[in-house]
Structure 1
Amino acid sequence: MSRIVYVNGAYVPEEEATVSIFDRGFLFADAVYEVCAILDGKICEFEGHVERLIRSLGELDMGMPVSKEELLEIHRELIKRNNVEQGAIYLQITRGTADRDFVYKKDMKQTLVMFTQAKGLTEEKAGIRVVSAPDIRWGRRDIKTVQLLASSMCKTMAKAAGKDDAWLVQDGFVTEGSSSNAYIVTKDGKIVTRNLSTSILHGITRKAILRLAAELDMEIEERPFTIAEAQDAAEAFFTAATAFVYPVIEIDGVELNGGKPGPVAKRLNEVYIEESRKSYI
Structure 2
Amino acid sequence: MRVEPIYHVDGDLVPASEATVSVDDRGFRYGDAAFETMRVYGGTVFEWDAHLERLERTCESLSLDHGLGAADLRDRIDETLTANDLEDAYVRLSITRGVQPGKLTPQPDVDPTVVIYAKPLPRGGVDGEPVWDGPATVRTVETRRIPSESIPAAAKTHNYLNGILARAELRDTDGQPSADEALMFDTEGAVAEGATSNLWFVRDGDLYTPTTDGPVLPGITRAIVFELAADADIAVHEGRYDLEGRYDLEAVLEADEAFLTNRTWELRPIETLDGHEIGGGPVTDRLSRAYDERVERACYRG
TM class by shorter chain equals: over 0.9
What CA distance in whole angstroms lies between the structure 1 residues aligned with 2:221 and 2:289?
13
The residue identity in structure 1 corresponding to 2:119 is Q
Deviations 1:155-190 (A, max 9, x none): 23325352111110122211111101111111x111
Is 1:221 the equivalent of 2:232? no
Q: Contact conserved, 1:130 with 1:158, CA < 8 A, in 2?
A: no
**Relative to total residues, which structure has the larger helix share, 1 or 2?**
1
Residue 228 of structure 2 corresponds to which residue in structure 1? 212
TM-score, reference length from structure 1: 0.93
What CA distance in whole angstroms lies between the structure 2 residues aligned with 1:26 and 1:221?
39
- Note the 1:22-37 alignment, pairs <5 A: 22-37=24-39
The counterpart of 1:183, out of the listed 200, 203, 212, is 200
Unaligned residue ranges in structure 1 (runs of 5+): none
SS at match of 2:183: strand
The residue identity in structure 2 corresponding to 1:26 is F
Deviation of 1:100 (Å) = 4.9
User: How many corresponding residue pairs?
Assistant: 277
The residue identity in structure 2 corresponding to 1:33 is F
SS at match of 2:100: coil
Q: Contact conserved, 1:142 with 1:197, CA < 8 A, in 2?
A: no
What CA distance in whole angstroms lies between the structure 1 residues aligned with 2:104 and 2:86?
39
What CA distance in whole angstroms lies between the structure 1 residues aligned with 2:283 and 2:12?
44
Residue 136 of structure 2 corresponds to which residue in structure 1? 128
RMSD (Å), alpha carbons:
1.7
- Note the 1:38-77 alignment, pairs <5 A: 38-77=40-79
Residue 166 of structure 1 corresponds to which residue in structure 2? 182
Deviation of 1:82 (Å) = 1.0
Is 1:147 the equivalent of 2:149? no
Change (3 A) 1:58 1:146: same
TM-score, reference length from structure 2: 0.87
Q: Contact conserved, 1:22 with 1:99, CA < 8 A, in 2?
A: no
Unaligned residue ranges in structure 2 (runs of 5+): 240-245
Q: Contact conserved, 2:221 with 2:263, CA < 8 A, in 1?
A: yes
The residue identity in structure 1 corresponding to 2:193 is E
What CA distance in whole angstroms lies between the structure 2 residues aligned with 1:100 and 1:134?
36
Deviation of 1:135 (Å) = 4.1
Q: Contact conserved, 1:128 with 1:250, CA < 8 A, in 2?
A: yes
Deviations 1:192-224 (A, max 9, x none): 001122511111111111111111000100113
Q: Contact conserved, 1:194 with 1:225, CA < 8 A, in 2?
A: yes
What CA distance in whole angstroms lies between the structure 2 residues aligned with 1:97 and 1:109?
7
Deviation of 1:153 (Å) = 2.7
